[in-house]
Amino acid sequence: MVSDDGMVAEDYYKQGLLINRRLAAIDAQRVHEPAATLKFRADGEVRVHLEGGSPAGRLNLTLKRPGDREARTIALSLAEDGDWSGRLGIQAPGRWIVKLESERWQLPVTTIAGIPAEIRLGAAESGSS
């Protein structure tokens, strides 16, 4: 009697090794993600202080209202003091969804209750107090 054992792929061992390599690469990339402190001022200025890494090329900040389809993205510039800065303009009160990303990484998306605000994202988010 012949039965099918349900094996999905004959090269399952090689596929498993490939998956492990991909997961290791993802973990290594996470180690290089920086932490960031974002300060949103009432006059519309945004300051971002990165710890443990720098973006390759550009750093973008995106703000969006919960439920809105359109988001506002600004390219931040490197300031003389080593922080990144940009100008949002004065924003209406209320909750905002915040995303900070470069060409190589994206920090966890979060929300702020309104502007002015100060938040911390990334590795230091859970590891320091």
Rounded alpha-carbon distances, angstroms, from residue 116 to 11, 19, 44, 81, 92: 56, 44, 8, 21, 11
Domain 12-19+27-124 sits in CATH at: 2.60.40.10
Torsion of CA 54, 57, 61, 67, to 10 degrees: -120
Q: What is the pTM of this model?
A: 0.69
Indicate if the pLDDT at residue 78 is higher than 80.
yes
* pLDDT for the residue 128: 40
Which pLDDT band, with edges at 50, 70 and 90, does 24 fall under?
Answer: confident
Is 46's pLDDT higher than 90? yes
